[in-house]
Chain A
Amino acid sequence: VHLVQSGAELKKPGASVKVSCKTSGYIFTRNALHWVRQAPGQSLEWMGYINAANGNTKYSQRFQGRLTITMDTPANTAYMELSSLTSEDAAVYYCARDWSTGDWGQGTQVTVSS
């Protein structure tokens, strides 16, 4: 199983960022994909997930209104888009397949700077 994320992003405050998570090695529709972020020196923070079987999503209330998680089933890929970025959104963003699998992407560094 592999989860490969898109590369580092540099964004201006107020912009949006979209990170991809391309999966392989398992049947994409059998698991949920979660998004987790980690600010420098901080703990892990769960953002939300998408159920790849039906496209249903659940978001942390902390990100309601500016987080969108989508998927492209034929491409076995999930996407995380976060809008209205501020400096507090600077972090490494991870995708992770159902928690009990232990499968995580390598992380994507998002920098927010004017």
Chain B
Amino acid sequence: QSVLTQPPSASGTPGQRVTISCSGSTSNIGSKDVYWYQQLPGTAPKLLIYGNYQRPAGVPDRFSGSKSGTSASLAISGLRSEDEADYYCAAWDDSLSGRFVFGAGTKVTVL
């Protein structure tokens, strides 16, 4: 069971806005930066968000991250067919002598 809790699935039609939540605790999200990754089948994860809300160069501004307390969210606006993928949140966690933890992932389907 993942330390960071994500919904297993989310969906939307092209053009819609989809939001993915990531719930943690004071030992991770509550005190550490959150990262978001997109993973297409058979490929390495791609960084979408780091430092809670910052986008790497080349990531469209349709992707946005936010954090409040011990929860974080990734929003995808103007949903496109190529956004259909698995999305993972991640953060450092102070428990067990310190570790980096990933959520279980959310499968986004474009209807």
Residues of A with Cβ closer than 8 Å to B? 34, 36, 43-46, 58, 60-61, 94, 99-102, 104-107
Contacts and interface: CB of A to CB of B under 8 A. Distances in A.
B40 interface: no
The interface size bin for chain B is 20 to 34
B8 to A, nearest CB: 11
Contacts of A58: 98
B50 A100 contact: yes
Given A61-B97, A106-B44, A43 B50 contact: no
Contact of A102 (B2, B46, B88, B101): B46
Contact of B96 (A61, A99, A105): A61
A56 to B, nearest CB: 13
Contacts, number: 46
A45 B37 CA distance: 13
A103 to B, nearest CB: 8
A15 to B, nearest CB: 25
Q: Give the 5 A-B CB pairs with smallest separation, nearest first.
A: A102-B47, A46-B100, A104-B44, A44-B102, A100-B50
Nearest to A3: B44
A44 B88 contact: yes
Per DSSP, chain A at the interface is mixed
A44 B90 contact: yes
A60 B100 CA distance: 8
B60 interface: no
14 contacts: A36-B102, A44-B37, A44-B105, A45-B102, A46-B102, A60-B96, A99-B100, A100-B35, A100-B51, A101-B47, A102-B47, A104-B45, A105-B44, A106-B44
- Residue of B88, B97, B99, B101 ringed by the most chain A CB atoms within 10 A: B99
Contacts of A46: 99-102
Contacts of A36: 102
B24 interface: no
B45 A60 contact: no
